[in-house]
């Protein structure tokens, strides 16, 4: 199977719906678990370990994404999707039965190993059944899944925890995943193996896993590691160097040479790395501004952040149409400029700024991200042949995950350094103003001084987010003046 013409047109919409269900299941997982974490901690204890519930899931997911992408090209999308989704569902069931925080962390690691297949393979399957011209529009539907999940996830998690056991938030994945698998089993054709197919590069895969594992542990646990951070970073660099050497000598590299030789694919991966990093400037730190600086409620902070999730799918849909009438470069540049404009508006936030101003800023940033990310993904999928489309799509997802971890680490370090300089005698100042009981115990003068210092520190975080966004403009210039139908 090399193009969409080999699939019956009447079945394509069912395959698309199945992939959207799978992506919704994976997208809602993060928000729904975050909502239930206070209840889980109250039941299982282990507050000091709760950060690993999220970190280990991201770690195993990121490590497995490129492996699934490569295996999907060699073994088949359908087979690897079923394997990955089955692992994810088994992990979800086991998470619900966890009786200690340690067991929950272990089961989340197993769940993440399966999650690494869902996003890249769903996107690859959709790319296989639609022509280059159609992909530009269909990606808007896939992106809408993220917007819906960001809004539905917290509400669903809160309702399930209130009326049922917290275990149900994991078990709700089961019917969604099974329906998706049944639909694909019925309507998605099996993979046709190529005569040139080669076994998975195990040595390259091992070096990749070691490199990414060490890097993510260093970035996600930087504060806890202390001086141990340096050995982890050095080992990650060593493993990355070994991976590069092995890939250059291997007859069947894990990442095909076209990924490094194609300017468009390099630009797509660099763009998603930047998007992942810039995204953390708003998703991780704007809620802190709303609650800590403006004195808003968690609901208000969530509402502002939801504006980004609304802007993303809307812009993704618009970018599909825009690409068809202009070019990859124009659409990517427009999205990058919107991202820069939104990041600039972050610098104008003041303690007295309205929620409408913050919400518009979030919406503008989400619009820029949706437009650029869709353009990068569609252009890469149109550039890649069927035989390597899985690993090329996976590399895009992988780059965004790494970017998110790098962005979180850089901006977190900028915030902490600023706080140590401005409030050297205050222990955990952000937590003090975020917690309403602690905030009320502070003297008015002390509170005003702390809020001003934290606001100034957050402004420097937003400056870093703006600098990262500016890089997106440069990457957009690397895109060709080409329309999707010219890839047919």
Question: Average pLDDT for residues 264-282, to the nearest whole number?
Answer: 87
Asked if residues 294 and 455 have their Cβ atoms less than 8 Å apart, the reply is no
Q: Indicate the burial class of 57 (C-beta count within 10 angstroms; 0-12, 13-18, 19 or more).
A: buried
Contacts of 241 (CB under 8 A, 6+ apart): none
pTM here is 0.85
pLDDT at 80: 94
CA distance 398 to 65: 6
Asked if residues 24 and 149 have their Cβ atoms less than 8 Å apart, the reply is yes
pLDDT over 80 at 161, yes or no: no
pLDDT digits (tens, 9 = 90+) for 6-30: 444 467 889 999 999 999 998 888 7
CA distance 378 to 374: 6
More confident residue, 281 or 225: 225
Asked if residues 390 and 70 have their Cβ atoms less than 8 Å apart, the reply is yes
Band (176; pLDDT cuts 50, 70, 90): very high
pLDDT at 9: 47
Contacts of 355 (CB under 8 A, 6+ apart): 290, 294, 296, 300, 303, 304
- CA 437-440-444 angle, 5° bins: 155
CA distance 223 to 294: 27
Q: What percent of the chain has a predicted confidence (pLDDT) above 90?
A: 33
pLDDT at 197: 52
pLDDT over 50 at 279, yes or no: yes
Query: Which of 104-118, 274-288, 337-351 has the lowest average pLDDT?
Result: 274-288
pLDDT over 50 at 335, yes or no: yes
């Amino acid at each position: 199977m090399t193009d969409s013409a080999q699939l019956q047109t009447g079945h394509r919409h069912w395959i698309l719906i199945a992939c959207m269900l799978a992506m919704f299941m994976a997208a809602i997982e993060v928000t729904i678990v975050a909502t239930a974490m206070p209840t889980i901690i109250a039941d299982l204890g282990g507050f000091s370990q709760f950060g690993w519930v999220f970190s280990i899931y991201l770690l195993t997911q990121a490590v497995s994404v490129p492996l699934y992408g490569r295996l999907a090209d060699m073994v088949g999308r359908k087979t690897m999707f079923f394997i990955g989704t089955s692992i994810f569902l088994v992990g979800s069931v086991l998470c619900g039965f966890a009786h200690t925080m340690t067991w929950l962390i272990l089961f989340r690691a197993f769940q993440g190993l399966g999650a690494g297949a869902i996003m890249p393979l769903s996107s690859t399957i959709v790319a296989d059944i639609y022509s280059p011209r159609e992909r530009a529009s269909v990606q808007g539907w896939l992106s809408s899944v993220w917007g819906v999940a960001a809004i539905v996830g917290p509400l669903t998690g809160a309702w399930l925890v209130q009326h049922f056991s917290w275990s149900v938030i994991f078990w709700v994945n089961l019917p969604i995943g099974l329906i998706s698998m049944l639909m694909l089993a019925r309507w998605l054709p099996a993979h046709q193996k190529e005569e040139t197919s080669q076994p998975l590069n195990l040595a390259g895969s091992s070096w990749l896993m070691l490199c990414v594992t060490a890097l993510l542990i260093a970035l996600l646990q930087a504060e806890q590691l202390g001086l141990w951070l340096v050995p982890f970073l050095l080992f990650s660099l060593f493993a990355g160097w070994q991976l590069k050497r092995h890939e250059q000598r291997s007859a069947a590299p894990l990442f095909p040479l076209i990924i490094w030789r194609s300017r468009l694919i390099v630009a797509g991966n660099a763009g998603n790395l930047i998007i992942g990093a810039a995204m953390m400037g708003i998703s991780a730190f704007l809620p802190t501004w709303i609650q800590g600086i403006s004195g808003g409620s968690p609901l208000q902070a969530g509402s502002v952040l939801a504006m980004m999730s609304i802007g993303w799918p809307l812009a993704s849909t618009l970018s599909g149409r825009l690409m068809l009438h202009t070019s990859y470069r124009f659409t990517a540049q427009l999205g990058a400029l919107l991202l820069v404009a939104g990041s600039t508006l972050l610098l104008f936030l003041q303690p007295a700024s309205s929620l409408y101003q913050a919400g518009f800023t979030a919406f503008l940033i989400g619009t820029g991200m949706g437009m650029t990310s869709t353009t990068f993904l569609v252009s890469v999928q149109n550039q890649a042949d069927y035989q390597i489309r899985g690993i090329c799509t996976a590399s895009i997802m992988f780059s965004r995950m790494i970017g998110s971890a790098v962005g979180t680490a850089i901006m977190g370090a900028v915030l902490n350094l600023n706080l140590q300089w401005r409030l050297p005698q205050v222990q955990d100042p952000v937590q003090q103003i975020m917690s309403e009981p602690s905030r009320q115990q502070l003297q008015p003068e002390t509170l005003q001084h702390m809020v001003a210092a934290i606001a100034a520190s957050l402004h420097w975080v937003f400056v870093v987010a703006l600098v990262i966004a500016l890089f997106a403009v440069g990457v957009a210039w690397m895109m060709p003046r080409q329309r999707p139908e010219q890839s047919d």
